[in-house]
Amino acid sequence: MIYIHIPFCVRKCLYCDFYSVTDKSLYRAYTDALIKEIEGIKGTETNTVYIGGGTPTAIGNYLLEIVDAVNKNLVLSENCEFTVEANPGTVDEKILSSLYKKGVNRISLGAQSFNDNELRALGRIHTSKEIFESCDAIKNAGFSNFSLDLMLATPHQTMESLEYTLSCIEKINPPHVSAYSLIVEEGTPFYDMELNLPNEDTERKMYYYASDFLSKLGLLRYEISNFAKEGFESRHNCGYWRDEEYIGLGAGAHSYYGGARYFNASDIKSYIEGKGRKEDYTPISEKERKLELFMLGLRMTAGVLYSGEFPERVNPLIEKGLLEIKEGRLRLTPRGTDCANLVFMEFLND
Ligand SMILES: C[S@@+](CC[C@H](N)C(=O)[O-])C[C@H]1O[C@@H](n2cnc3c(N)ncnc32)[C@H](O)[C@@H]1O
Ligand code: SF4
């Protein structure tokens, strides 16, 4: 699995704490540095490539150069899942067709909401109409595999406005949807703002309403926040949840292979200068790896294969009705799904 980070956005959304900047003057130097890093792992075989951000489509033709470098240097398996994240307002049929012709076969589009007042409150650069236009462009360019990101419990959102957003999803009929509940992160503008947010009960209602609605469209929940038609589950993300190894390229990207984690410096200028690449290295013990396997695997609806590991952590969670064992697999109960973060905390290493 290969992850490539593009740390640029047209404008920062008010809730987002992913590392990205808006300085266009860095596009050329960043692309060159990234291509060098790709060349550095020439010959690596992979079954998934995920170019994420930030907003990969914000950098236009530079993105095409990066895709060319991937094709030239890496060995993509047959049926390799090759995803690019895109934002409405930064894509048209021309760039999408070029990506498709170069072997990209999946687009993940950040829609978030189909209500313009909610999009404005989130600080998004696009309108609902532009989401529809981007989806038409994605389909016209030839993509049959694409995903839309939605956000739940955002400012001004109500059950009625969520129903409208979901009715737009029904019209577009994507084979994959991600739906994340808003996290107000420290350091983002939202953290210091008075927000008109739905309360926690409404947030849960929204999550269950969205889950039920999507399942009626054949989009079945396979992870806490991810829904797919059969065969369209994201292979790249499932790889993370199954604790598979990956190489991350670009500023701030993490890697995980050979029993250790590696981190690239997140500062773009340091990255361009070639400093801080995979210098920070943390070996992982066998116990830590197993705990992580549980923490990640429990995110998936199918859970993890279970043969009695960590009973001191697992049994109390079963007694509280948060975990259950079914056909040899340990998984979250519906109550456990409601407070998944509390469950995952029990699997942190000590
Ligand atoms: C890293 S973003 C990249 C996608 C793309 N740049 C976009 O914004 O459309 C991936 C997704 O994470 C979600 N996200 C980002 N910040 C969030 C937050 N604070 N709370 C909940 N979801 C968030 C959004 O749904 C977003 O589409
Ligand atoms: S949500 Fe996406 S577009 Fe908005 S700032 Fe974050 S990465 Fe950029």
pLDDT tens for each residue of 100-147: 999 999 999 999 999 999 999 999 999 999 999 999 999 999 999 999
Ligand nearest to the CA of 154: 1
Average confidence score pLDDT of the chain? 95
CATH for 286-350 is 1.10.10
Q: Do residues 13 and 124 make contact, with C-beta atoms less than 8 angstroms apart?
A: yes
Q: Cβ neighbours of residue 171 under 8 Å, at least 6 residues apart? A: none
Instruction: Measure the CA–CA gap between 93 and 132, rounded to whole angstroms.
Output: 13
pTM metric for this prediction:
0.95
3-state class of 321 per DSSP?
Answer: coil
Tell me the average pLDDT across 257-265: 89
Tell me the average pLDDT across 79-105: 97
Closest alpha carbon to 111 in 64, 66, 160, 162: 162
Domain spans, the chain = 2-240, 286-350
Tell me the average pLDDT across 185-207: 95
Burial 128-145 (b: 16+ CB within 10 A, else e): bebbbbbbebbbebebeb
What number of other Cβ atoms are within 10 A of residue 273's Cβ? 12
Q: Cβ neighbours of residue 149 under 8 Å, at least 6 residues apart? A: 108, 109, 110, 111, 112, 177, 178, 179, 180
Instruction: Measure the CA–CA gap between 180 and 122, rounded to whole angstroms.
Output: 14
Residue 344 has pLDDT above 70, yes or no: yes
Q: Which two tokens stand for residue 289?
A: 């790896």
CA dihedral over 224, 142, 64, 57, signed as positive or negative: negative
pLDDT at position 275? 80
- CATH 3.80.30.20 at 2-240, yes or no: yes
Ligand 1 center to 173 CA (angstroms): 21
Closest alpha carbon to 230 in 176, 179, 171, 150: 176
Cβ of 149 below 6 Å from ligand 1: yes
Ligand 2 center to 332 CA (angstroms): 30
- Same fold? 2-240, 286-350: no
Residue 280 has pLDDT above 70, yes or no: no
For a pLDDT cut of 70, what percent of the chain falls above it? 99
In this structure, the strands spanning 106-112 and 75-86 are parallel
CA atoms lying within 13 Å on the CB side of residue 321: 3
Instruction: Measure the CA–CA gap between 321 and 336, rounded to whole angstroms.
Output: 7
pLDDT digits (tens, 9 = 90+) for 31-74: 999 999 999 999 999 999 999 999 999 999 999 999 999 999 99
pLDDT digits (tens, 9 = 90+) for 1-34: 999 999 999 999 999 999 899 999 999 999 999 9
Instruction: Measure the CA–CA gap between 322 and 324, rounded to whole angstroms.
Output: 7
In this structure, the strands spanning 146-152 and 323-326 are unpaired
pLDDT digits (tens, 9 = 90+) for 295-316: 999 999 999 999 999 999 999 9
Which of 87, 118, 122, 147 for a ligand 2 pocket mutation test, highest count of atoms within 8 Å of Cβ?
A: 87
pLDDT at position 276? 67
List the residue whose alpha carbon is closest to atom 2 of ligand 2. Answer: 54
pLDDT at position 279? 64
For a pLDDT cut of 90, what percent of the chain falls above it? 90
Ligand nearest to the CA of 87: 1
In the structure, what pLDDT confidence band is assigned to residue 214 with cuts at 50, 70 and 90?
very high
Among the residue ranges 41-45, 162-166, 346-350, the one predicted with the least confidence is: 346-350
Closest alpha carbon to 344 in 288, 293, 295, 287: 295
Which amino acid, one-letter code, is at 101?
Answer: K
List the residue whose alpha carbon is closest to atom 7 of ligand 2. Answer: 54
